[in-house]
Structure 1
Amino acid sequence: MPVRMKKLIGTIVLVLLVMIYAIFATAVASLYLGEASGLVHLLYFLFTGLIWIVPAMVLIRWMEREPKR
């Protein structure tokens, strides 16, 4: 697959990943953290704000890999 096509697909998937992940993380917080303390909110959003980086890194590595000849 050409690099330009991989980057196009990867960009679309990355945007969708961030959108879906943000909605999911916020929905979980709304359901389960309504009565929690501020510290629990801070830790939850710190954790969920960083964990999306793992699948994004994998996707970006895939996008940057040279095509096999």
Structure 2
Amino acid sequence: MDDGASRPSTSPALPPRLRKFIGTCLIILLVILWALGAMALAQGRVTTLPGFWQFLAYVVLGIGWVVPAALLIRWMQKGDRKPETL
């Protein structure tokens, strides 16, 4: 009895060019939405916080987009051939 567990998936992977195009569009959308959200939070709630918490909030709002962008970039690079080493 073959349960299909040993067979590789037959669903086709996205071609690298399409995956990179989709990833680029998503990163642009992420940066735009993150900037709008950060501006909205910085204008309203962050200004009422004490100094240290304001600093921490600005740091998180300023560089917090890097983590989701890095995950998108990792996905975009998935499946690419690695260059041969000498």
TM-score by length of 2: 0.67
Moved over 6 A (4+): none
Q: Which moved more, 1:45-54 or 1:16-25?
A: 45-54
The CA distance in 1 between the partners of 2:79 and 2:70, in whole Å, is 16
Q: CA RMSD in A?
A: 1.7
Percent identity between the two aligned chains: 37
Report 1 or 2 for greater relative contact order, CA contacts < 8 Å, sequence distance ≥ 6: 1
| Higher helix proportion | 1
The alignment covers a number of residue pairs equal to 67
Bigger CA radius of gyration = 2
The CA distance in 1 between the partners of 2:15 and 2:60, in whole Å, is 35
2:3 match:
none
Structure 1 stretches lacking a partner, 5+ long: none
